[in-house]
A and B are shown apart, each in its own frame.
Chain A
Amino acid sequence: MEYEVVIGLEIHAQLKTNTKIFCGCSTAFGAEPNSQTCPVCTGMPGVLPVLNKTAVAYAARAGVATNCTINRVNRFARKNYFYPDLPLGYQITQFALPIAEHGHLDIELPDGGTKRIGITRIHMENDAGKLNHDPMRPISLVNLNRAGVPLIEIVSEPDMRSAAEAGVLVRKMHQLVRHIGVCDGNMEEGSLRCDANVSLRPKGQEEFGTRTEMKNLNSFRNIERAIRYEISRQTDILDNGGEVIQETRLWNADKEISTSMRSKEDAHDYRYFPDPDLLPVVIDDAWYDEIVKSLPELPDAMKARYVETLGLPVGDAEVLTSTLELATYFDACLAALGTPTPKQAKLAANWVMGSVLALLHTEGMSLATVPVSADMLAGLLTLVEKDVISGTMAKTVFEEMAATGKEAKIIVEEKGLAQVSDTSEIEGIVDTILANNPSEVEAFRGGKKKLMGFFVGQVMKATKGKGNPKVVNQLLGEKLK
């Protein structure tokens, strides 16, 4: 039978606050086990949580960026369950009144179209600690450095119909949370991870099939692979007349299989109730406005601006908006150029996506420390635009800029790299070249037009690459008639 796949995602993003959500401990990754803990995050008797306001602002930012309604009054609830990595015996999360609800995000499909994915809700919660199972002894060690790190859980509607769509949403969300500065997106460190709810239904059927929840998906690759695995597993079951069991499954990235973690019968009763230790979170107008103002232009809006206003190809716009830093660099370069024409914009885009990105890759630099600032790049492009140097020469100048941090104009002056556009000066050289190569001139005039390249090369050689190619070509054309 042909099935339709139904996928919903729960994306957990660690908010990049300096301190934990309910205490003052550092959130830095990789410290000595249990060195970043205090009575509050180790769940000592008598401690009370105090909400980190930056975490609230970040969560609200994510809500605004995904077109959610922000609940101006939202509240924390306790999710009760026992586990050694959970010091209080409950997670402080949001249940009935999350910070954000009813949003959406448009994703780009492989066929070029877009699809709107509903965002059910975003809620804040604290992370649990980490258990390290001792391979030599039958014990586990608890590290509570992570316990209390602020997370948001972004819950999507079951709107995706393929693993690829789910992959696109996660990538888009990954880009978005980094772009708005609320999450570093470091998936190896667990800053962004994902659970996927997958079900199948016969094509055309309205009612959803039984779903399973896949946990522990911590890379883009794993997300798509795990979903594909689950689709084929469920397809096999249904094709053989079986029934899918509602359960939670754990993805094993090494073996590329998933295994059952717990069935619906074993599901926890979390006994949610409002946390009496925390007051409802109230986001008043002033704070809300501040949060909205703190948001940069969002990737989709930037992309639209690049395509519609600047006339850049969609592909370029995607590359340029892949990180906020790159887009900001590109925008700064455009601003330094004044009011760039589409041609100038395309030239700038090519340079940013080409030489600048290459420099970052080869030198392992960040845009914050790159020696060629956006203004400096604009300076270089202006020289090309004004025919002071050729595009080829510009590459050489760029390398020099990267090495020395000097302005393009200075380098061109110091090294005398300005191209020669003076017709009389070039004319003399052209005459000499033609006089010295009579047989080639003969052959050219006889129809071997390919020899044009030879003449241009000779002239450029004689001008040490500084001859304005346009002038050279024009003069040669005239003289060889």
Chain B
Amino acid sequence: MSLHTMTLTEAHGLLRDKKISSRELTEAVLARIDEVDPKVGAYITVDQTGALAAADAADARLAKGEASTLTGLPVGLKDLLCTQGLKTTCASKMLEHFVPPYDATVVTQLREAGAVFPGKLNMDEFAMGSTTEHSALQTTQNPWDLSRVPGGSSGGSAAAVAADLCLAALGSDTGGSIRQPASHCGIVGMKPTYGRVSRYGLVAFASSLDQIGPMTKSVEDSALLMETISGYDPRDSTSVPKEVPDYRRLMKDEEGKGLAGMTVGLPVEYWQADGVDPEVMAAVTQAKATLESLGARCVSVSLPHTEYAVAAYYVIAPSEASSNLARYDGVRYGMSQRGGDGLLSLYKNTRSEGFGDEVKRRIIIGTYALSSGYYDAYYKKASQVRTLIVEDFKTAFQSCDFIISPVAPSPAGKKGESADDPLKMYLSDLFTLSANLAGIPGMSVPCGLTRQGLPVGLQLLGRHFDEATLLKAAWHFERTAGFQGQRPPL
């Protein structure tokens, strides 16, 4: 087995048993990046020096027997997680040279656990997009078919994990940005409950929707990362002071029982949606049968306000974004175009040149939706819809333990396909963004390949703070369905 192809859990075992060192593992990953990333384009920044120093520190820690499960393991970071002293670009010209003076809380947590950071991963600019084509800095190819997009916005993270350019990665999910690229790249991705993971140091897109989550090669690895990054953070008022369960233990609890006694909800609005690729539908239908074979009972449920979710999302997310991105004004950091004649031209030139089209489009939409006279019709109405969507899920979860659906209507598209049609791109988020509006956890697990060899993911949605049920179901599914370990033909 090559070192870079291992899961976190496998590599931890070898490190613990002193069969390998973190330096060997990290060097293997860095070599793999050298070899393969020119084709994939996942990394914006590779931090060889920092990674090897962290690997050596991890080895010292392992030698002293003070290691955690993550000590010495290379984990990639989406390039909107602030890393002290290491560029954090958000894949934007605006922050192309920005070096944060502080670490995001999740970065601190991983550092303290002894993780190694090989570098920072590409994404759609400021996480706005679902193909990673909106990165202003580089393109990322889908490792399964280099002519296709990896999905987005955490496309770099998904591609890197799929192409073994890191053992696991962190992404962020505002409307599906972890789950959809995970699905397109054939890996596991989890968007935790809103408030489960601290957002401090995550460069905000839409504050009430953003959540950081793991993107991994196995369900167990997601559980492991969740144990490390979850929990209350006094620096994030929206993080929730709730105990973090022992996800890996709960996941395997009463292993022999499978999923017996569990009820799976199939929302009619998702399962009868128009425009879902037949191969995607076939794969998730097969997945449903697998879950039933594990003892789960499937029932039909309804999420009646689904048809308003996309509209509500594309009011709330841009509104918050328009305000969150106001700080990029050229005054204190980042791009600053000072050639003009005064303050207004500083603002205009900096923001015109610093932001890409998709970011500008959303800032304009959000600014419009919040302006006086329109607030009630747009933002307020969207917030009301959001409340209804929360209620929809509450009602649905009265008759099931978790929900399944496709992650995306189709497998990864060709590059350039959705560039001229933002509306099509927005509609492709239909299955994922309701979870962000409702604040509930969601997962994507690989559930098949199309005839063209493109991965398809199964989405699992759960109750607030019930990541444990999703991990359990996904873990059983993964073991039974047997897609783990399938690798792209790179």
Contacts and interface: CB of A to CB of B under 8 A. Distances in A.
Contacts of B102: 39, 44, 47
A278 interface: yes
B372 A269 contact: yes
A209 interface: no
A18 to B, nearest CB: 17
Interface string B429-462: 0000000000000000000000000000000000
B100 interface: yes
A84 B320 contact: no
Interface string A1-42: 000000000000000000000000000000000000001001
Interface string A348-390: 0000000000000000000000000000000000000000000
B370 A87 contact: no
B483 interface: no
Nearest to A270: B372
Interface in B362-382: 367, 370-372, 375, 379
Interface residues of B, number: 45
A94 to B, nearest CB: 15
Nearest to A279: B237
A88 B236 contact: no
Nearest to A42: B332
A84 B336 CA distance: 13
Interface string B324-336: 0111110111000
B370 A278 contact: no
A45 B98 contact: yes
Interface stretch (A48-56, A115-123, A235-243, A391-399): A48-56
A49 B238 CA distance: 10
Given A44-B100, A273-B379, A276-B320, A51 B237 contact: yes
Given A39-B102, A45-B82, A82 B326 contact: yes
Nearest to B104: A46
A78 interface: yes
B235 interface: yes
A362 B115 CA distance: 66
Task: Classify the interface of chain A: helix, strand, loop or mixed.
Answer: loop
B370 A80 contact: yes
A269 B328 CA distance: 19
B319 interface: yes
A405 interface: no
B343 A84 contact: yes
Contacts of B101: 39, 44
B343 A273 contact: no
A78 B379 CA distance: 14
A43 interface: yes
A43 B332 contact: yes
B208 interface: yes
Contact of A48 (B100, B199, B326): B199
A88 B332 CA distance: 10
B201 interface: yes
Interface of A: 39, 42-51, 78, 80, 82, 84, 87-90, 142, 269-273, 276-279
26 contacts: A39-B101, A44-B100, A45-B88, A45-B95, A45-B98, A45-B328, A46-B80, A46-B82, A46-B88, A46-B104, A48-B199, A48-B236, A48-B237, A78-B323, A80-B326, A82-B329, A82-B347, A84-B343, A88-B327, A89-B327, A89-B329, A272-B375, A276-B208, A276-B320, A278-B237, A279-B238
